[in-house]
Amino acid sequence: MKKILVLCTGNSCRSQIAHGYLNHFAHGTAEVYSAGVETHGVNPKAIAIMAEDGIDISQHTSNHIDEYAQIDFDLVITVCDSAKERCPFFPSRAQKFHHNFPDPAKATGTEEEIMQEFRSVRDQIKDYCRNFVTAHVSH
């Protein structure tokens, strides 16, 4: 079983969404973890927009990368440029992947406009995770 780490700056939005979708698409064929180089708590809007798509991340926690130092990951995905730049060195054979998704937590405007940005980023991450599992986990 492959161990996947999704890494972002605060482990509150993008990495949590990716964590939820990777679990969903891997159907139990991977152990998925998410962490941040900081911890900001799981964003309630991320929980809400994932629930709209039938994925429950309400029990996820915001974890610091140091908590997983002893895990030998197979795959590490950074989902923002900041995390890629600050990604700690893992003494492992992990393959590293990177995709910079926009930060929905920085969205401005009305509540509906902000939620629409969260949904847009969610859909980008969903497509990425579906393709990632097909290419790197399900073979």
Side chain identity at residue 76, one-letter code? V
- The pTM for the full model equals 0.94
Question: Rounded to whole angstroms, how far apart are CA atoms 112 and 121?
Answer: 14
Q: Is 13 a catalytic residue?
A: no
Q: Note whether 18 and 6 are within 8 A (CB).
A: yes
**Token pair 């974890």 in the structure block, residue:** 63
pLDDT at 91: 56
Q: Is 8 a catalytic residue?
A: yes
Q: Is 80 a catalytic residue?
A: yes
Task: Quote the number of domains for the chain.
Answer: 1
Question: Rounded to whole angstroms, how far apart are CA atoms 76 and 3?
Answer: 9
Q: Which domain CATH number covers 47?
A: 3.40.50.2300
pLDDT at 69: 86
pLDDT at 93: 81
The number of residues making up the chain comes to 139
pLDDT at 82: 78
- Domain hosting residue 105, numbered range: 2-136
The catalytic position among 80, 83, 121, 137 is 80
The catalytic position among 4, 6, 8, 17 is 8
Please, which contacts does 112-121 make with residues 24 or more away whose CB atoms are closer than 8 Å? 114/45, 115/45, 115/48, 115/49, 118/13, 118/45, 118/46, 118/48, 118/49, 119/49, 119/52, 121/13, 121/14, 121/17
The catalytic position among 38, 53, 82, 87 is 87
Residue numbers in the chain where pLDDT is lower than 50: none
Side chain identity at residue 9, one-letter code? T
